Amino acid sequence: MAELMMPDSRRCTYFFLYDGSKVQGEGDPTREGICYFYPEKTPIDKQELLCGQLAGVSRCVSELSSSPVRVLRLRHSKFAIKMEEDFFWALGCSADFPTVSMCDLLDQLISLFCFYNGPVRQSYQENSRETLALHWSRYLLYLQTGSTELHHIFSCLRTIDSTHIDPLLLLKAALILQACQRCPLVLAGCILFRGRVVSTQMPPDLTVKVMAHETQTYNKDKKPNGVSSSAPLSRAVTSTTVHLTLSELQDLRSTTVDRESRSHSTPSKDNRPQRTCLSRTLSDTPSTDSHTDLETDSPDTPLKLDGLLSPVLSRGAEQSAARPTVNPLLFQFSESSPSTNRKGPRSGGNEEEDEDDSVLEKSYYYSFHSHGGNTSQADLQGEASPLAEASALENEPSATPMSDRRSGPGCWTPGQEGSPEGRAASRGSRDGRNSGGASLPRVGDKDRAVVPMTLYQHRVKGLVLALLVEPHFQRDTEAMEEVYHSSLASLNGLEAHLRTMAPGPPGPQGPYIFAHYDCIQNTLTTNVSGRAGGDQDHSFVRATSLLHSHFCNSEALQEAIIRSARTAVYATRSVAQETYFLQHGGVVRNSGVPNHQDTAFSLPSKARHRLLKHGVSLL
Amino acid sequence: MSAKTSLLKVILLGDGGVGKSSLMNRYVTNKFDTHLFHTIGVEFLNKDLEVDGHMVTLQIWDTAGQERFRSLRTPFYRGSDCCLLTFSVDDSQSFLNMGNWKKEFIYYADVKEPEKFPFVVLGNKVDVTERQVSTEDARQWCQENGNYPYYETSAKDATNVAVAFEEAVRRVLAMEERTDHLIPTDTVNLHRKPRSATSCCS
């Protein structure tokens, strides 16, 4: 299917992993530290230049500010940065790709690597760089291909087009997963068809990782083996070791059905975040206590200060780094004066903050802006400029640290990382993908620790049942056969159903374009077809990308209209969703001055009306 | 000829809850699960077996008995080699509905010669003590509808299950043999040059 692929230049242009511990002395060549560099054909001296400069700049800034750098901006590109111990990752995109999505991509990439290879340091001790380079390139490819541009903007899961399949089949898939969970060694699972999610019991970020393996095995043995015989268990079944973070594991264990006795350690069970899995299975219907969670902590309205501030009180100092201290209550609608925004909360009520925090916070918003237009951080400009000049890569950008919130953890909502209350409170924005502390600048040992688990996969042609199971499941022949046999017939059937329900040609688009992003399930519904879209499709995607960034950056922003001379896109969001809408045709009465007859103002009601039939309720 | 493995598709039809899935599971995996949920749509399992010297892969299609799953199951009737009409001996309604199942099958499977199509009738759950359908009634129905073989089975204690499926295979093989014999008389050999054609053109 020829989908609306983003030209390569729009997404990851550079990616590298640099190991600072390999380059300690003056004479150590930079290349010693380069573990992986993409594009791999880049001349080594250019690799060295980029690695050396970016690592140097980031190190310097982070030492000055005692907090890690998240984004570096150059004139034509920007880099998402991640520093952990001696490791330094950078992922570069062109300047017009949303920063939020770029940071997501880097986080996903790293956590994907750790999921299959374990901790980075350890895997580089155990494997050659060449082997792991292969893995990095594979993950990079996986995260960037096969999706539409809109999918990349939201970093969302690829799901099957549910408009073309009988909902009963989704139920069937959910029941298969549930039946597997009767085996106590099975934690959770998902069912995928041709690289798309049919049903999952796992949180979205975990599903993405599990899917990576599926996609690879699918591509490897694409030739269907005719009739899937029930006899040899080994042919269709594979198992591989994966590494779950402690929080991921706790999430899975504590929410598995009827498994109270088995959940080993959930000391903080009461204040755990609500699971963010795709609740498509019966087993996942939210329990009553998670409803309470939702009610008490939901940042539905930013006025709920309690929910937002509670993480501060309940969390250790080392985790507070993850909490941008912007108080949504006081956050300005416009971003014209970012420094005010930043300072707002300071005077506004987060009195309990310590000094360390304030330093941390600032450095989130650092970026090197080529135009130097924004001087809101004048106090730091002096130091930063020469640094950036030193980092002249292609354009000798004069650097100005600017407090552009987009460069910071714009997508990080208060207390999101690691904090149960915070996560629950901020689920509306970006929870799920960022869980597990993977993107924490300073993670506690607990968050970095991983537990080996087993990923069991049972393939029936294009259909895959993937289960996260306890490691000793593999040795438990009885349990394995039980799971295999209890699901085989249903998988065969489901595969037959899905195969015959080939998606017909997409119907006429209708007089409007929409995209509906479900933040909880991390899924996207849209009528932007995969095929090469027209002008309006492109403007819609661009507008969506821009508005999505804004939503991520400003907690308080709920509705927005973005317009050009010809068209207008309306966007609205709530805790759980973001919706974007464009109406085709019609005379745009745009006088340039706000005018009640302006057609743009009828967009909200049109969106509400039109999208109802897509199951999107904007009421 | 006999060394070749052929794939035979048999389909289990009957009211919801008569034990179609259990029959399939008992036959293929020799297991009985009391906690089975309604089948949604269709499911199938393969089993390799040898019947009278023929190697056969039996593909057993299990279907949803509930009316609401009708649109999901009917597309899969096509291509069946044999149909196992199933009822439960402790449920007279399931027995009475067999005629409807047969009609539904013939319609959706697009059977060309319904009177010749191999049906096998299974009265399941004979382990249950309170029967509502007597063996005589069942036999009579089979007699009247086309002289179908009838088996009283129990998926729970494995009574007659294998026998019934093997009978289905025999029926299909017998059918095929008959058609095999018919083929030469009905076909036209395209490789032979028709003489008249050449003379006509010249």
Which chain A residues touch B42 with a CB distance below 8 Å? 493, 496-497
- Inter-chain CB proximity B41 and A169 less than 8 Å: yes
Q: Which residues of A460-487 are buried (b: 16+ CB within 10 A; e: fewer)?
A: bbbbbbbbbbbeebeeeeebbebbbbbb
Band (pLDDT 50/70/90 cuts) for residue A191 is very high
pLDDT, tens digit, 9 for 90 and up, residues A292-315: 333 333 333 333 333 333 332 333
- Phi/psi at A72 (nearest 5 deg)? -120, 130
Q: Within an 8 Å CB–CB cutoff, is residue B25 touching chain A?
A: yes
Amino acid code (one letter) for A500:
T
- Amino acid A495: pLDDT: 95
Across all residues in chain A, what is the average pLDDT?
Answer: 70
Residue A94 has pLDDT above 60, yes or no: yes
Q: Residue A294 burial by CB count (10 A; 0-12/13-18/19+): exposed, middle or buried?
A: middle
Residue A40 exposure: Cα atoms within 13 Å on the Cβ side:
13
Task: Give the residue-averaged pLDDT of A438-461.
Answer: 70
Q: The complex's ipTM?
A: 0.88
> Which residue, B11, B70, B42, is CA-closest to A500?
B42
pLDDT tier at A58, thresholds 50, 70, 90: very high
Q: What is the mean pLDDT of residues A417-426?
A: 37
Length of chain B: 202
How confident is the model at residue A406, as a pLDDT?
A: 38
Give the pLDDT confidence score for residue A281 in this predicted structure: 38
Query: C-alpha dihedral over B27, B29, B31, B37, to 10 degrees?
Result: -90
Q: Give A345-403 pLDDT, tens digit per residue.
A: 333 333 343 444 433 333 333 333 333 333 333 333 333 333 333 344 333 333 333 33
Amino acid at site B106: I
Asked if B29 is an interface residue toward chain A (Cβ–Cβ < 8 A), one would say yes
The closest CB to that of A175, out of B31, B37, B76, belongs to B37
Q: Tell me which H or E stretch contains A244.
A: strand A237-245
B43 inside 8 A of chain A by CB = yes
Interface of A with B in 496-515 (CB under 8 A): 496-497, 500
Contact A168 B21 (CB under 8 A): no
Q: Report the percentage of chain A scoring pLDDT > 90.
A: 36
- A209-218, A429-438, A521-530: the lowest-pLDDT one: A429-438
- The minimal CB distance from B69 to the residues A168, A182, A489 is found for A168
Distance of CA B15 to the CA centre of its chain: 15
Each residue's pLDDT tens digit, A119-174: 999 999 999 999 999 999 999 988 888 778 888 889 888 888 877 788 899 999 99
Is residue B75 less than 8 Å (CB to CB) from chain A?
yes
Q: Chain A: give the shortest CA distance to residue B94, in Å.
A: 24
* From B7, B37, B44, residue closest to A493, measured CB to CB: B44
Reference A419, options A503, A312, A347; nearest CA is: A312
Strands (E), A406-551: 450-460, 463-469, 512-518, 523-526
Per-residue pLDDT of chain B (202 residues; tens, 9 = 90+): 445 678 999 999 999 999 999 999 999 999 998 888 889 999 999 999 998 888 999 999 999 999 999 999 999 999 999 999 999 999 999 999 999 999 999 999 999 899 999 999 999 999 999 999 999 999 999 999 999 999 999 999 999 999 999 999 999 998 888 776 655 555 556 665 555 544 444 4
Distance in Å, alpha carbon of A494 to nearest chain B alpha carbon: 7
Q: How confident is the model at residue A235 (pLDDT cuts 50, 70, 90)?
A: confident
What span, in angstroms and rounded, lies between the C-alpha atoms of A284 and A251?
Answer: 12
Report the alpha-carbon distance of residue A47 to residue A133 in Å, rounded.
15
Q: For residue A493, give the chain B residue with the closest CA.
A: B43
Q: Do B75 and A488 touch (CB under 8 A)?
A: no
What are the two backbone dihedrals, phi and then psi, of residue A442, each rounded to the nearest 5 degrees?
Answer: -125, 95
Question: In this structure, what token pair is assigned to residue A377?
Answer: 């951080």
DSSP class per residue in A37-105: EESTTS-HHHHHHHHHHHHHHHHHHHHHHTS---EEE-SSEEEEEEEETTEEEEEEEETTS-HHHHHHH
Distance of CA A293 to the CA centre of its chain: 23
The answer to whether residue B99 neighbours chain A at the CB level (below 8 Å) is no
Does A282 contact B at CB distance below 8 Å? no
Amino acid in the structure at residue A161? D
- Please check whether residue B135 is in contact with residue B5, taking contact to mean a CB–CB distance below 8 angstroms: no
Amino acid (1-letter code) at residue B73: R
Q: What's the gap in Å between the CA of A172 and the closest CA on chain B? A: 6
Q: pLDDT band for A449, please (50, 70, 90 cuts).
A: confident
A&B contacts, CB < 8 Å: 62
Q: Rounded to an integer, what distance in angstroms lies between the CA atom of residue A342 and that of residue A344?
A: 5
- Residue A240, min C-alpha distance to chain B (Å): 26
| Minimal-distance CA residue of chain B relative to A487 | B43
Element (H, E) at B88: strand B82-88
Residues of B with CB below 8 A from A166's CB? 41, 71-72
**Contact (CB<8Å) B41/A230:** no
Name the B residues in 108-147 with CB < 8 Å from any A CB: none
pLDDT digit string, tens, across residues A192-219:
998 899 999 999 999 999 998 877 665 5
CB of A228 within 8 Å of any CB in chain B? yes
Nearest-5° angle of CA A155, CA A13, CA A197? 25
Task: Determine whether B114 is exposed, middle or buried from the number of CB atoms within 10 Å of its CB (0-12, 13-18, 19+).
Answer: middle
Considering only the beta carbons, identify the residue of A228, A486, A493 that sits closest to B42: A493
Q: Judge contact between A580 and A515, C-beta under 8 A.
A: yes
Residue A241 pLDDT greater than 60, yes or no: yes
Query: Minimal CA–CA distance to A207: which of A190, A182, A230, A185?
Result: A190
Q: What DSSP element (H or E) covers B48?
A: strand B42-51
Four-residue CA torsion sign, A590, A591, A593, A594: negative
First to last CA, chain B: 44
Question: Would you tell me how many other CB atoms lie within 10 Å of the CB of residue A405?
Answer: 23
Which of helix, strand or coil describes residue B80? coil
With a pLDDT cut of 70, the percent of chain A lying above it is 60
Residue A334 has pLDDT above 90, yes or no: no
Distance in Å, alpha carbon of B46 to nearest chain A alpha carbon: 6
Check whether A79 has a pLDDT greater than 90: yes
- C-alpha to C-alpha distances, A548 to A338, A519, A540, A580, B132, nearest whole angstrom: 18, 12, 12, 9, 65
Nearest CA of chain B to the CA of A493: how many Å?
Answer: 4
Contact A527, A580 (CB under 8 A): no
**pLDDT for position B125:** 96
Per-residue burial over B46-66, b = 16 or more CB atoms within 10 Å of its CB, e = otherwise: bbeeebeebebbbbbbbbbbe
CB A160 within 8 A of CB A190: no
> A-chain residues within 8 Å CB-CB of B57?
227, 229
Identify all chain B residues contacting A227, using CB atoms and an 8 Å cutoff: 7, 46, 57, 59
Helices A477-500 & B20-29 angle (0-180, nearest 10): 130
- Per-residue pLDDT tens digits for A5-51: 444 444 788 999 999 898 888 888 888 899 999 999 999 999 999 99
Which pLDDT belongs to residue A323? Answer: 37
Contacts of A494 in chain B (CB under 8 A): 41
Question: B7 touching A, CB under 8 A?
Answer: yes
CB-based contacts of A144, cutoff 8 Å, min separation 6: A11, A12, A105, A152
* Cα–Cα distance, A520 to A518 (Å, whole number): 6
Give the pLDDT of residue B34: 86
pLDDT at A330 exceeding the cut of 90: no
Strand, helix or coil at A465? strand
- Which residues lie closer than 8 Å to A356 by C-beta, 6 or more apart? A66, A317, A320
* Pick from A166, A171, A490: CB nearest B43: A490
Among B7, B45, B76, beta carbon nearest to A488: B45
Cβ–Cβ under 8 Å, residues A420 and A392: no
Q: Does B71 touch chain A (CB under 8 A)?
A: yes
Contact present, A551 and A557 (Cβ < 8 Å): yes
Shortest CA distance from A178: residue in chain B = B37
| Contact predicate A88/A8, CB 8 Å | no
pLDDT of residue A30: 87
